[in-house]
Amino acid sequence: MATPSENSSPDADLGNSLPSLDSQISHADQISYWSSQSADVNGMLGGYPQLSRIDLQGSKNFIAKVRRISRVSSSSPTNTSSSKQDTTSAHGSRSTSGRAPATPIRDANNSKIRLAVDCGAGIGRITSGLLLYVAETVDIVEPVTKFTDVLGQLQTSPDQGRVGEIFNCGLESWSPSAEKSYDLIWIQWCLGHLADKQAVEFLKRAARALAGYDVQNEVEGEAQGWIMVKENLSTDAWGEDIFDDVDSSVTRSDQKFKHLFEEAGLKIVKMEAQSGFPKDLYPVKMYALRPK
Ligand code: SAH
């Protein structure tokens, strides 16, 4: 499953013996599965609505830590070429790609970033519970219109940003226009709906849509945007991915994610396990990524 789900898959061994696990992915099956789910938090979280609060809190803490890294490195001009996992540098932003320079992920006033996008957003659980507090505007990518219809009725509070453009398509066919430059691209519980190759291509496109992409490290203090991925991890004893034919998704191993990020030209600048979920669910991990 692409959402929190039980850590047991009787078919895992069967799936593993197949040459290409994710060749079984069918976007038509995904859409038909998700269209049959209720357009509420229970539907989004596969029957575990109580996990939403813990999940959002974990994500909020993670974003705060990543912002802190950005702040520390942007106030440290000597720290410009680190590739260490938890101490990435803030890259300068003289854009050579025509994209807008990045908004620093955190400034002295802890103000909002400019533009985020919620990928595979469903009804906007993460958008309304987290991203609209972090960003002035949040775009949405979600193939099921029944879910995005809910976003049209979203009531926001004065301290929240606004929902921007809504793209009703799967991530495999989402190609951000050249005018878009995102400070944060949030991808949660939906990357398993893409085959490996599609995931790599999507991550490459996402990287190109980041604010400050392809910049020279000439201007201190401005960070590039971030891609953040939060997904279930496979617990297969042999470290294999697990296919779930209920929602036509693949649950990948930590090793596989790292491989896909590498293929997409991304480096991990911070990663963290989500704590506080029941032990019988798949472990969940967060990765903050940037182009190398
Ligand atoms: N990320 C949201 C929703 C998770 S449920 C949250 O955490 O609350 C998984 C979502 O992925 C569903 O909304 C489903 O419609 C969407 N989805 C299904 N196939 C997809 C695809 N190919 N690309 C992007 N999203 C997809």
Query: Ligand 1 atom 12: the closest Cα is on which residue?
Result: 122
Ligand 1: does its nearest atom lie under 6 Å from the Cβ of 44? yes
Q: Give nearest CA residue, ligand 1 atom 18.
A: 30
Q: What is the pLDDT of residues 123-166, one digit of tens each?
A: 999 999 999 999 999 999 999 999 999 998 898 999 999 999 99
Closest CA to 183 of 76, 102, 241: 102
Coil, strand or helix at 126:
helix
What atom in ligand 1 is closest to the CA of residue 118? 1
Dihedrals φ, ψ of 193, to 5°?
A: -85, -5
Q: 59, 2, 85: which is closest to 228 by C-alpha?
A: 59
C-alpha span between 224 and 201 (Å, rounded): 20
- Tens digits of pLDDT across the chain (292 residues): 678 877 754 344 434 444 467 889 999 999 999 999 999 999 999 999 999 999 999 999 999 999 888 766 555 443 333 333 333 332 223 233 445 555 444 444 568 999 999 999 999 999 999 999 999 999 999 999 999 999 988 989 999 999 999 999 999 999 999 889 999 999 999 999 999 999 999 999 999 999 887 544 434 334 479 999 999 999 999 999 999 999 999 999 999 999 999 999 999 999 999 999 999 999 999 999 999 8
Total-model pTM: 0.85
* Minimal-distance CA residue to ligand 1 atom 23: 170
DSSP per residue, 231-269: EE----TT---EEETTTTEEEPPHHHHHHHHHHTTEEEE
Distance separating alpha carbons of residues 74 and 95, to the nearest angstrom: 17
Q: Is 48 in the pocket of ligand 1 (CB under 6 A)?
A: no
Quick one: 95 exposed, middle or buried, by C-beta within 10 A (0-12, 13-18, 19+)? middle
In three-state secondary structure terms, 190 is: coil
Residue 127: closest CA among 103, 163, 157: 163
Given a contact cutoff of 8 angstroms between Cβ atoms, the answer to whether 22 and 250 are in contact is: yes
Contact 208, 97 (CB under 8 A): yes
Q: Whose CA is nearest to atom 21 of ligand 1?
A: 170
